[in-house]
Amino acid sequence: MSLHKIRQEWLTLDEAAEVIRQHNITLLPADLIRHALHGDLPLSVYFPSPVLLRPLNPPCHFACRFSKPPFPPSECNKPGNRKVMANSPPCRRDPTLQLTTSHLWNLPLIGLERLLLHQQLAKTLNRPCPKDTHCCNQIGIVVCDENDSYYQLCCRKSLRELLLELLATQNNLQEELHLLIGQLYGNGRNDLKSRLSLSVCYLQDTLPPDALFVIRRTHLEAFLTRHQPESKERITSALSRLLWLACKHNPQLDDEMLEHPYKLLNIFECWAREDGMHLPLSPETLKTALQRGAPP
């Protein structure tokens, strides 16, 4: 069965499931997420609005970059390895920060994006959402371009807004933030209000509300090629009649063989080998063709 042409450059999970259904493969969006988590289907994210990125530096060299799931916990979750970046806390000035000009980015599933995908799967299955998963939670959400360059998803907030948000959601602050606040108070309280209004960059732990999990057309086509059901051999009615007539009037074949087509297959295969041909024909197909070609 030939693949239907996919015209879109990317598809949502629901759209991809519908395209797959048209190829006689029944998969739900939740099944696509499972395939993605097992490394069988690359996923991407579509950002309708520009987002702030910075290169993952130093690059992640954990086993999850190069191994198929399940990732080795000894490598991914060692306490000494969880802190990938020394400057993960907020930074005021970072020349590597850049607003995206491209909407479509690949998901390597090495950071929090993997946890978000597990949570999406849990919601789809009406199961409790996990709070943690394998791999590098400390590096935030990671995306990569087509050159396999890795970037962290960042956001800009005032220091005051960031501190209030962290206190409301985590009830505690990282050690680096305590040091930063200590420096602010150490410089005197006169300008503390203005300093709390300073814009800082911080790693995102959620995707923007308008972001979408999507599948690139090329990745979906490769997935379909790997999982396409084997097509059954089809012989038209006209060819079935010609086959029956050829067998009926062949002096080497008798009526008993026509009534037992399975015996004919070895003869056809022998003829094919003598002429240097390969005959990918199943006994069931030959039987069906002769039955269709026989006179009523």
String of DSSP letters for 47-73: -SS--EEEE-SSPP-SGGGTSPSSP-H
Q: Above 70 in pLDDT, residue 2?
A: no
Give the span between the Cα atoms of 211 and 153, in whole angstroms.
12
Domain check: are 257 and 129 in the same one?
no
Of 161, 195, 210, at which residue does a domain stop? 210
Q: Above 80 in pLDDT, residue 212?
A: yes
Domain check: are 116 and 196 in the same one?
yes
Domain check: are 58 and 199 in the same one?
yes
Examine residue 6 and state whether it is found in any structural domain, yes or no. Answer: no
The pLDDT of 47-63, averaged and rounded, is 76
Helix (H, G, I), strand (E, B) or coil at 173: coil
Domains of the chain: total: 2
Domain check: are 134 and 269 in the same one?
no
**What's the mean pLDDT when you consider all of the chain?**
77
Using one digit for the tens of pLDDT, what is the confidence trace for 64-122?
444 444 444 434 434 333 333 333 445 555 667 788 888 999 999 988 899 999 999 99
Examine residue 217 and state whether it is found in any structural domain, yes or no. Answer: no
Of 170, 193, 210, at which residue does a domain stop? 210
Domain check: are 57 and 162 in the same one?
yes
Domain check: are 199 and 64 in the same one?
yes
Q: Above 80 in pLDDT, residue 180?
A: no
Domain check: are 134 and 173 in the same one?
yes
Examine residue 224 and state whether it is found in any structural domain, yes or no. Answer: no
Higher pLDDT, 35 or 181: 35
Q: Above 90 in pLDDT, residue 217?
A: yes
Number of alpha carbons in the 13 Å side-chain half-sphere of residue 51? 26
Q: What is the pLDDT of residue 185?
A: 66
Examine residue 2 and state whether it is found in any structural domain, yes or no. Answer: no
Helix (H, G, I), strand (E, B) or coil at 214: strand
Examine residue 169 and state whether it is found in any structural domain, yes or no. Answer: yes
Domain check: are 193 and 54 in the same one?
yes
Q: What is the pLDDT of residue 275?
A: 82
Examine residue 151 and state whether it is found in any structural domain, yes or no. Answer: yes
Neighbours of 118 (CB within 10 A): 20
Domain check: are 136 and 75 in the same one?
yes
Examine residue 225 and state whether it is found in any structural domain, yes or no. Answer: no
Q: What is the pLDDT of residue 78?
A: 40
Q: Above 90 in pLDDT, residue 168?
A: no
Structural domain that includes position 69: 48-210
Examine residue 220 and state whether it is found in any structural domain, yes or no. Answer: no
Q: What is the dihedral of CA 160, 165, 171, 173, to 10 degrees?
A: -50
Domain check: are 144 and 253 in the same one?
no
